[in-house]
Homo-oligomer: A and B are copies of this chain.
């Protein structure tokens, strides 16, 4: 999984019917020091994440294992809000 912060939302009316009601968030991957990485990913929120929160994102077929995503045409899902990152 990767760690990112929520940057915004994607609004789409004309879309696959299995995406109806899904919250599509733009996630910016971040480094362990909190700085931004390049790029972004559009992920389905499954845990009620808030804006600017640090989240954990799963990619690939496992995104369909997240709550409510079974058989959905998605390849990225937010599966956790991160409290702390402990580097030892």
Binding site for B on A (CB under 8 A): 1-3, 7-19, 24, 26, 31-32, 40-43, 46-49, 51-52, 56, 58-67, 69, 71-77, 79-88
Contact = CB atoms under 8 A, between A and B. Distances in A.
Contacts of A58: 73-75
A11 B81 contact: no
A87 B26 contact: yes
B88 A8 contact: yes
Contact of A26 (B32, B65, B83): B32
Given A2-B41, A7-B88, A8-B32, 6 more contacts: A1-B41, A3-B10, A10-B56, A10-B84, A14-B47, A64-B65
